Amino acid sequence: MKFLSKERALTLSMLFGTALAVALGSFSAFAGECEDMPERLFRMHILANSDSKEDQELKYALRDFLSEDMQYIFEGCSTAEEAKNAAKNNLREITVKAQQFVSDSGYDYKITASVEKVFFTTRQYGAVTVPAGEYDALRILIGKGEGRNWWCVMFPPLCLGAVEEYVYNDADIDDPNRPPEIKFALFEWLKKVFG
């Protein structure tokens, strides 16, 4: 078995130490960005009545309608807090429009809309990765709200007017077992361990 010389071992140790320091420094910056992400985003969450094909199609049709119809509500918003307040201030109008759309589509499901904290898993919207956590969201339940869900980021507007460009296909969106990216899983584990 061949051993390294002291000089070579020292050089390798220094390179490894430098690489580790750079990685931890980058990780610290990344961790800081993850920590304040929930304060910088406002999301929309739509739950279908059930997992039947018809109920899932209705969910996506309502998504498309709301994504187009609600743009004016959030036009002047420059922060997530402003978007949340705009949703709260227009909650009745959003509910009425969603209810009318569902009724016009031939369903008698009741629409329930609220602004609340909702836990989301890690997701990617185009080039933007959003870490898992509790986010303020406009939550819309169709009927019993027991079906698969759809959600996106409303502020900054990654879904309004750009639904198809920024979301996964149905299987990715609705799969609760889809693993998060490793860097976020590592961050969440370290956060649990070190607080």
pLDDT tens by residue, the chain, 195 residues: 556 666 765 665 666 555 555 544 444 444 444 456 778 888 889 999 999 999 999 999 999 998 888 888 888 888 999 999 999 999 999 999 999 999 999 999 999 999 999 888 887 766 777 788 899 999 999 999 999 988 878 787 766 443 333 333 333 334 444 443 333 444 454 455 555
Q: Which two tokens stand for residue 110?
A: 């009741």
Range of the structural domain that residue 137 is part of? 35-194
The C-alpha atoms of residue 99 and residue 76 are separated, in whole angstroms, by 25
Q: Which two tokens stand for residue 134?
A: 């509790």
How many domains does the chain fold into? Answer: 1
Q: Is residue 14 part of a domain?
A: no
Whole-number CA gyration radius for the chain: 22
CB of 108 closer than 8 Å to CB of 13: no
The C-alpha atoms of residue 108 and residue 113 are separated, in whole angstroms, by 16
Confidence at residue 94, expressed as pLDDT on a 0 to 100 scale: 95
pTM: 0.64
CA 158 to chain centre: 10
Q: In which region does residue 91 sit, left (phi positive, over 0), alpha (psi from -120 to 50) or beta (all else)?
A: alpha
Q: Is residue 5 part of a domain?
A: no
Q: Is residue 92 part of a domain?
A: yes
Confidence at residue 121, expressed as pLDDT on a 0 to 100 scale: 83
Q: Is residue 17 part of a domain?
A: no
